[in-house]
Amino acid sequence: MNGGWVEPCSISEYGQRKIKIKADSPLFEGLDKEQIVLMSHTDQIQELPEGFFVTASSETCPNVAIESVEKSLYGVQFHPETELTIHGEQIIRNFLYQICHAEGDYTLKNFIGEQIRSIREQIGDEKVILGLSGGVDSAVCAALLAEAVPGQAICIFVDHGMMRKNEGNEVEKAFATKSLEFIRVDAADRFLSKLAGVIDPEQKRKIIGNEFIQVFSEQAMLHDDAKFLAQGTIYPDVIESGSGKAATIKSHHNVGGLPKDLNFKGIVEPLRSLFKDEVRQLGSALGLPQSIVNRQPFPGPGLGVRIIGEITREKLHILQEADARFREEVEADCVPANQYFAVLTNLRSVGVMGDSRTYDYTLALRAVITHDFMTAEYAPIPHTTLSRLSKRITNEVKGINRIVYDITDKPPATIEWE
């Protein structure tokens, strides 16, 4: 729009890189001349638009940050919004307060008030149906609905059979006592028969998403007084599902249109603009117990994305048992990790147990340190914990004869294995 030229570059940059700040800029005020930032790109500006100046560059990328004070336009090639950009928060702060002159009068309390008003305005006296997964997002969404429209929310817990060990019962226990109508639908057979033979991860997500909507539709028809559908969609779901020209990284089943054959008047997504850490803060502010608020994130399609290859009952059972033991040991040793889970790879190999030969699965363990879940570092679990885990799982869980620990950060990997 301003002229200039962008082209694919010969050396792409992924991960943390050092950049040099080359000119005074309000964007970099208060920062040292060398900064560590997260780069993730295959394009570069080859020719600057007229009136723009370079304010930062890296070893291979000459135009990492540019600006035109006259036009009041500032651009950065790196990702200031992630933790891997060490002073990213300061850069965003500078942008908001120095450049845009924002006042910073937003508070979570205002947010709750605004959302309650907007939910009431949207729903009125009607009933609203919410899919409750037991995860933080839908729980906070439920709490917000209970606050905004008490007695009008019907929470449907679709048990797709791919929850962690005992999780279905825990969810039921936690929510059954709330002043919300709670319905548990045991739909494991339906999901598993649709997933039979499917190995492509995106297709699995789509099948689970569609079936989820199906089960929902059926429940909605039984509750045809509910005119609205609420979902705990959060901002990263919106970004990562791709929109417009952005590449679809993963389609998250919790972002979707309204089922066409249902007569919902509208969709309620009060958390759509929030990041995970904000959702947790909101949950605390709404008085939810810490056990729910600080729960680690769990994908909507559940263990379905943690079983590589075809999903079967047998594999689900193996993964549930192994994952429960992994989480137990990590918690017992107080390993600092924000998310930790097991993945059942599709790799089988020969092993030996006692006098017999086995041909069993390889289990991968994943634990990461992250706050925003957009970037993450693998958690350095002590070897003593890993050895204990390896012995315990191979001894106690039939079907696994080999265990590996994932030592990849995000990027280049993602947190989940799919």
State the residues that interact with ligand XMP by CB under 6 A: 137, 237, 250, 252-254, 297, 299-301, 339, 373, 410, 414-416
Cis peptide before 411 (omega within 30 of 0): yes
Which C-beta is closer to ligand XMP: that of 402 or that of 410? 410
Chain center to CA of 357: 40
DSSP bridge partners of 404: 364
Q: Which is nearer to ligand XMP, 160 or 410 (CB)?
A: 410
Q: Which is nearer to ligand XMP, 302 or 399 (CB)?
A: 302
Return d(Cα 117, Cα 110) in angstroms, integer.
11
**Measured distance CA(300)–CA(304) in Å, rounded:** 9
Q: State both tokens at 410.
A: 């995000």
Choose between 15 and 113: whose C-beta lies nearer to ligand XMP.
Answer: 15
Q: In whole angstroms, how close is the CB of 345 to ligand XMP at the nearest point?
A: 16
The CB-of-311 to ligand XMP minimum distance in angstroms stands at 15
- For the bound state, the minimum distance from the C-beta of residue 107 to ligand XMP, rounded and expressed in Å, comes to 25
Q: Are 341 and 306 in contact (CB under 8 A)?
A: yes
Nearer to ligand XMP, 214 or 339 (CB): 339
- How far apart are CB 371 and ligand XMP at their closest, in Å? 11
Q: How far is the CB of 306 from ligand XMP (least distance, A)?
A: 9
Q: Among residues 283 and 299, whose Cβ is nearest to ligand XMP?
A: 299
What is the DSSP track for 207-273? Answer: HHHHHHHHHHHHHHHHTTTEEEEE----HHHHHHT--TTSPP----TTS----TTS--SEEE-TTTT
Distances in Å between the Cα of 202 and the Cα atoms of 133, 240, 250, 333 are 20, 13, 7, 35
Give the max Cα distance, the chain.
78
- Least spacing, CB of residue 232 vs ligand XMP, in Å: 8
* Both structure tokens of 238: 């919106």
